[in-house]
Amino acid sequence: MDILQLLVSGIANGCIYGLLALGFVLIYKASEAVNFAQGDMMMLGAFLGITFINASYADLPFLIGITLAALLLGLFGYLLDRFVLRAIFGQPQFAMVILTIALGFLMRFFAGVIWGHDPTSLETPFVAQVWMLGELMIPVVDALIILTTVALTTVLYFFFARTRLGVAMQASSQNQMAAYYMGIPVKRINAIVWALSGVVAAIAGVLFAAKGAVEPSVGLLFGIKAFAAAVIGGLGSLPGALLGGLLVGIVEPFAGRFLPEVGQIAPYLLMLVVLVLRPGGLFAQISQKKV
């Protein structure tokens, strides 16, 4: 029972890692560079959620609050790409990596100015409620996280597999030049990908804040763990990112319980093992160009 209990909380945590890793992969596929501000975008999403939902601020219902946070951070992502990142379009990838690290600093700074540095948590109607499944205790928050993640990934799956825009996003990530030749507006598509990763980050952030307290620097460590999850999945594969997130989420509580000495570094050990055994990650997409 104990193990099942750990598993439930591990999966719930893993879902948040997975969503964040999804954001990493989306942007990596679109621009071939890692967005190191992804964790900080999640932090912004968490604070936006708190602002919309908590009684001391706007006091809106949970569903409306999370939707507004997602839309607002989506818009933020779109504008970020449109006005900041497009300015360095065509520069070496390294420039973008440095730029996103700098953006992360800025986001943490402004979040501190706006919301203060004290840990704040999201007030939800279901904060301490649990469902009993036999002897297994399932916190309602965990169930909500898992269900939301399943719903969001299903929507994303159909978006990428079935819609014209979704397939065009895949196409431009696989061969940007050819997408350009087809008349696909690659730059606009990139901005939409940033918007999408903002939406996903906001949802992850609100769910994260529903589980525990957030403060402006929370995205840093969490973002790095989610990055490890994305690498484990094979940076470039959406299902891989989710699986990597779940693995990291599950490994953490188990390592903390049974091997307290390595608890903190368990996700990175896992990443190391995966990279040694499968250098491309679990779901590496490998294509060889035929000449």
Partner 1 sequence: MSDASPLLRVQNLEAFYGPVMALRGVSIDVFKGKVVAILGANGAGKTTLMKTISGTLSPRKGSISLAGEFIQGSDPDKLVRQGIAHVPEGREVFPFLSVEENLSMGAYTRRDKAGIRGDMEMVYDYFPMLLERRNQAAGTLSGGQQQMLAIGRGLMSRPSLMLLDEPSLGLSPLLVQEIFEIIRRLNKEQGVTLLLVEQNARVALNTADHGYVLETGRIVMDGSARDLLASDDIQEFYLGQSAGDDRPEKRWKRKKTWR
- Region binding partner 1 by CB under 8 A among candidate stretches 3-11, 20-28, 183-191, 220-228: 183-191
Contact by Cβ (8 Å): 251, 49? no
Count the alpha carbons within 13 Å of 25 in the hemisphere toward its beta carbon: 32
Q: Which two tokens stand for residue 184?
A: 């696909």
> Which residues lie closer than 8 Å to 23 by C-beta, 6 or more apart?
35, 38, 41, 42, 197, 200, 201, 204, 226
- Region binding partner 1 by CB under 8 A among candidate stretches 16-24, 100-108, 178-186, 217-225: 178-186
Residues 37-76 that bind partner 1 (CB under 8 A): none
Rama region for 92: left / alpha / beta (φ>0; ψ in -120 to 50; rest): beta
Of the candidates 46, 184, 195, 243, which one interacts with partner 1 according to CB under 8 A? 184
Torsion of Cα atoms, 10 then 13 then 16 then 20, to 10°: -80
Residue 238 in contact with partner 1, rule: CB under 8 A: no
Q: Which two tokens stand for residue 20?
A: 């964040």
Distance of alpha carbon 104 from alpha carbon 266, whole angstroms = 25
Residue 90 in contact with partner 1, rule: CB under 8 A: no
Residue 26 in contact with partner 1, rule: CB under 8 A: no
Residue 92 in contact with partner 1, rule: CB under 8 A: no
Residue 167 in contact with partner 1, rule: CB under 8 A: yes
Of the candidates 2, 132, 135, 289, which one interacts with partner 1 according to CB under 8 A? 289
Instruction: Compute the least distance from the CB of residue 17 to partner 1, in Å.
Output: 25
Residue 247 in contact with partner 1, rule: CB under 8 A: no
Q: Which residues bind partner 1 (CB under 8 A)?
A: 164, 167-168, 170-171, 174-175, 177-185, 285, 287-291
